[in-house]
Each structure stands twice: as structure tokens, then as C-alpha cells.
Amino acid sequence: MIGDSDLCPASYAGFLDNPIRRLLHSPVRIVGPYISPGDMVLDVGPGSGFFTRPMARIVGDGGCVVAADLQEEMLAMLLKRAEQEGLVSRIRTHRTSLHSLDLEGYGPFDFVLAFYVVHELPDAESFFIEVASVLRPGGRMLVVEPKLHVTEESFAETVKAAKAAGFSTEKPPGVLFSRTALLSKA
Ligand SMILES: C[S@@+](CC[C@H](N)C(=O)[O-])C[C@H]1O[C@@H](n2cnc3c(N)ncnc32)[C@H](O)[C@@H]1O
């Protein structure tokens, strides 16, 4: 169970969204292989949109990225940066609640990204069940967690929760300083 203190504060947004990280965690290299023009993408816990904006460039005008975050301040920063980059028309922001993504009416999605967020959620299994309900058959989800905060054992529990929700695993991409799982829905 998490409390407010486990949430990544909105004041960290600059730390997570900067040119140096773009070299280390190149969004195009990490998520590019799983997204195509016209896709519907869900970015869970996007923060200020470090991955949302590059994904919006890839999906193009025919696609859409739904950025679903618990914190209004993060979504406001995301929209500001997206506006500066002319990407607002391809992005929809959505405020979640702590215990649910509240995604009724959204989807089906082709791809879901959960980058450095699952360890902040109160219940991984219900999260994966909820994601499975909005992902299209054959759709994929990439889960990335920071090695600094998430032990190997804890990440194995996360993958177990995903499998319990019906996901199978594929070979994931390597991401610096991180543990990764590439999940697919039958
Ligand atoms: C460490 S930040 C990662 C941001 C982004 N994915 C990145 O890699 O730059 C975690 C984000 O997850 C969000 N978050 C935490 N709990 C959430 C929940 N229950 N639903 C949606 N977002 C949540 C936080 O508000 C924060 O923006």
C-alpha cells in the first residue's frame, strides 16, 4: 500500500524530463519498436510527458496518446510542453484516482507504457486487470521499473501479477538502470 510520500513529486518533473535523460533513456529506441502511425497508446503515470511527446510524434495525426496521471500538476506540465512542441492535438490527458485508472470509455489501445510507475501503485494485480480490459487482443504493454527502488524479487512479483491478469511475456528491451518486462495480451 502506498501513501502520498511514495508518489513522485511534481517538483521532480524537470529531473525526469531533460536532454541528458533523453540520451540515456532514448524514447524512440525504447518504445519505437512497439508503436506505429495511427496507433492508440496509453501512457500510465506519464509525469510531464518524457515518453508521451515522442510517442505522439510516432502515432502522428491519425493516432492518439492518452496520458493518465494521478497528479494534476504533472498533467498541466505535460500539456504545457506538448503545446510548445505542437503536439496537443495528438494527446489526451486523463486524471486517474489512486485505486483505479478510471478508463471507462477509452480504448482499445494498441500499446501501453508504464515507465517507473508500477511501484507507486497500491495494487499491481488490479492495475494489470484494468489495463488488460482496455488493451486490444495482441496488444503489448512495456513495464519498466527503476533498479534503485525495485528489487529483483519485487519485480518478479510484479511480473507474476501481470501473468495472473492474463498477460504473457516476450523478450523485453534493455533499459539502463532498470528492470523491464514486455507483456502481451492473447
Ligand atoms: C517516477 S514518475 C515517472 C514519470 C514518467 N513515466 C517518466 O518515466 O518520466 C511516476 C508518475 O506516476 C504517477 N502516478 C503515481 N501513481 C499513479 C496512479 N495511481 N495512477 C496514475 N499515475 C500515477 C505520478 O504522479 C508520476 O507522474
> DSSP assignment of 91-141, as one string?
EEEEE-BTTB---TT---EEEEEEES-GGGSS-HHHHHHHHHHHEEEEEEE
**What is the structure's pLDDT at 5?**
54
User: How far, in Å, CA of 170 to CA of 141, rounded?
Assistant: 10
Q: Ligand 1 center to residue 45 CA distance, Å?
A: 3
Ligand 1 pocket check: which of 16, 48, 52, 69 to mutate, most ligand atoms within 8 Å of Cβ? 69
List, chain by chain if needed, residues with CB within 6 Å of any ligand 1 atom: 7-8, 16, 44-47, 50, 68-71, 74, 96, 98, 115-117, 120-121
Q: Which of 120, 121, 130, 131 to mutate to test the pocket of ligand 1 (most atoms within 8 A of CB)?
A: 120
Residue pLDDT, tens place only, 55-86? 999 999 999 999 999 999 999 999 999 999 99
Compute the mean pLDDT over every residue in the chain, rounded to the nearest whole number.
95
pLDDT for the residue 7: 84
Structure confidence at residue 116 (pLDDT): 97
Q: Which of 118, 119, 120, 149 is nearest to 131 (CA)?
A: 118
Cβ atoms < 10 Å from Cβ of 57: 16
What would the grid cell of residue 77 be? 506540465
| β pairing state of 40-44 and 91-95 | unpaired
Grid coordinates standing for 88? 496537443
CA distance 161 to 61: 35
What is the pLDDT averaged over residues 158-177? 97
